[in-house]
Structure 1
Amino acid sequence: MKATQQRTLAVNGITLSVHVAGPEHGRPIWLLHGFPECWYSWRAQIAPLVAAGYQVWMPEMRGYGASSAPQAVEAYDLLTLCADIQGAMDLLGQRQVCVVGHDWGAPVAWHLALLEPERVQAVVALSVPYAGRPKQPAIELIRAHFKDRFNYILYFQNPGVAEAELDADVAHTLRMFMQGGANGDLILKDKPASATLFDGINQPDRLPPWCSAEAFEVYVQTFAGRGFHGALNWYRNFERNWQRTEPLAEACVEQPALFLLGDLDPVGVLEAHTLLRMPKRVPRLEQHIVKACGHWIQSEQPDIVNGHLLRFLASHFPV
């Protein structure tokens, strides 16, 4: 991995920690991580992008690592998360960028493309598709569908409940997500609504092959001492997100877009309908299914992801 420099930016009323690598005047690419990850989840992408001439910006998103983690739930709505990145781009004087997002970083990337049609020249999303603003908040659909069964998003809704389980042992929590999150056990397992997240999930006895002990320690330090409250607040804004994005209800992502999904990623099951509708809202879409790959796609299959990413950039955001 290429050496990175950590910078602290005062933007949008918070402190945003950003790790940067690459030539000073390289075209900027923003890599936005998801839950429960960190900037280091992009470690396998840094060197290839820098070698291609890009400057790579990897924030610790609001609620993570050395960035601010406001207590209030409403401080984590989607447009506020976008404003953090927009403020950083403004501060850095960046007029043309490419934005890449994985997991929760993907909705931020999609909406940055909608909000910044001139500045965001190309967008890449991993795992989470986009098919426009739903007709009602997604949380309402989830509540109706999972009346008597466990659903991780519903479990995350009440502040303090999920925190008690996840914060008890940060390293254990991350191991459970890395293993169970990749193949769907955590989010697809059928169990009573009264269950906790880790009920019925076998505890892994080792790290997955794509995560070294050194990398795992970076993940652990992201949450050590602060827990998962800020990160979980992202899940508690579905209604607020729906309300605040009303002006974007009819908007399409007009930029060139690349979407990658692992064939074993449980999101493919949960978002099957969204995947079918995505081309109507993202007309310049290129999409690929990555074989033998779960949810942590850029870490599990970095060579394949990097190949798709570099080819896409060469066509739509060349150095």
Structure 2
Amino acid sequence: MSTFPPPTFIETNGVSLEVFQAGSGKPIVMCHGFPEHAYSWRHQIDPLVEAGYHVIVPSQRGYGNSTAPEAVVDYDIVQLTADLAGLLDHYGYDDALFVGHDWGAIVVWNMALLHPQRVAGVINLSVPFMPRGTMDWISLWEQFLGPDFYMVHFNRQPGVADAVFDANTENFLRNMYRTRHWLEAPPELGEGMALLNVATADSMPGDLLMSEEDLQVFVTAFEHSGFTGGINWYRNLSRNWQLLEAAPEQVLCPALMIHGDHDMVPPLENLAEFVPQVEVVSLECGHWIMQEEPQKTTDLIKQWLLQHYPA
């Protein structure tokens, strides 16, 4: 099992966040996605500390041992970014470099829109900036991808996915955390909501991308928290679209975007229109970039930091 700092609990924005932090120097805040945990960044923490940074990694609200509010609206983008601003206040920082993956990337992009003075730079993995457009995201995806697209399903059938994932926690996570999946044909998952079928499938293509000990860290975390908190982030996508109506349309700070060549999340071809100072790179991996290619991911981050956010 990878070494990992012990947790501390920090009160911010009305919740208690389980935070893993180490080092000193300029702050770097690392934000995980779904269905993940602060432990997703285990490979990057020590190298960044050794490079001279104070690394701050929260299990965000609804995850791990952090507070999981009951109200769905408590997971909107205003609350999620305010949690991160509160972390900076706690540690006494005016700003920080923010790193995000998956849903964490969405939060980080919007941190740069809603709290630009707190963001010295952005490094995001997998999920590019999401232009607001003229139709809320859930309605748009329902129109083009149908009612069984998992984000639509989470919104239109509340509680269904939560129960399936809770009842199959280890199997769901084991099937999700795969690498080299693109080398094998996926099993026939049948009609309907494919992500729910992943939770109950006997196996999925590819190799488990972590050790059994590491997997148990995630399993234990979700057996404690359940999946509703994390899914509630998706249930605010239409609300977030409304809340962002008056927000700026560009992220103006320096940014690095890292894609996986085999990720199901497509790149945004005109990303530079919305993030003028962005650099874009890709790695030969799938969705779980920093866990599938930990050394290459860390090297890319450190190289970019040398130029844009030196210790």
TM-score of the alignment, normalized to the shorter chain, above 0.5: yes
CA distance in 1, matches of 2:168, 2:189: 24
Instruction: Give unpaired runs (5+ residues) of structure 2.
Output: none
Q: 1:183 to 1:9 in 2, by over 3 A?
A: farther
CA distance in 2, matches of 1:91, 1:40: 21
Is 1:309 aligned to 2:301, yes or no? yes
1:259 maps to what in 2? 257
Q: 1:67 to 1:161 in 2, by over 3 A?
A: same
Q: 1:314 to 1:214 in 2, by over 3 A?
A: same
- Mapped contact 2:63–2:221 kept (Cα < 8 A): yes
Other structure's SS at 1:280 match: helix
1:176-215 to 2 correspondence within 5 Å? 176-179=175-178, 192-193=191-192, 197-198=196-197, 202-204=201-203, 208-215=207-214
Is 1:19 aligned to 2:20, yes or no? yes
Structure 1 residue identity aligned to 2:271: M
CA distance in 2, matches of 1:181, 1:111: 31
CA distance in 1, matches of 2:168, 2:200: 16
2:139 maps to what in 1? 140
- Farther-moved stretch of structure 1 (195-204 vs 219-228): 195-204
CA RMSD, Structure 1 to Structure 2 (Å): 2.6
| Deviations 1:193-219 (CA, angstroms, capped at 9, x unpaired) | 476721698533899453111211110
- Mapped contact 1:19–1:39 kept (Cα < 8 A): yes
Is 1:128 aligned to 2:121, yes or no? no
- Mapped contact 1:17–1:66 kept (Cα < 8 A): yes
| Deviations 1:9-46 (CA, angstroms, capped at 9, x unpaired) | 111111111110113xx111001000001101001101
Other structure's SS at 1:198 match: helix
CA distance in 2, matches of 1:156, 1:184: 29
| Deviations 1:256-314 (CA, angstroms, capped at 9, x unpaired) | 1000010000112xxx5xx11211010001010112x0000000011111111001111
CA distance in 2, matches of 1:82, 1:278: 22
Other structure's SS at 1:224 match: helix
CA distance in 1, matches of 2:309, 2:256: 12
- Farther-moved stretch of structure 1 (127-136 vs 49-58): 127-136
1:31 maps to what in 2? 30
Other structure's SS at 1:289 match: strand
CA distance in 2, matches of 1:96, 1:144: 39
Structure 2 residue identity aligned to 1:256: P
Count of aligned pairs between the two proteins: 308
Other structure's SS at 1:247 match: coil
Moved over 4 A (4+): 180-185, 199-202
- Mapped contact 2:108–2:124 kept (Cα < 8 A): yes
Shift of 1:6: 1.5
The percent identity for this pair of structures is 39
2:230 maps to what in 1? 231
CA distance in 2, matches of 1:199, 1:216: 16
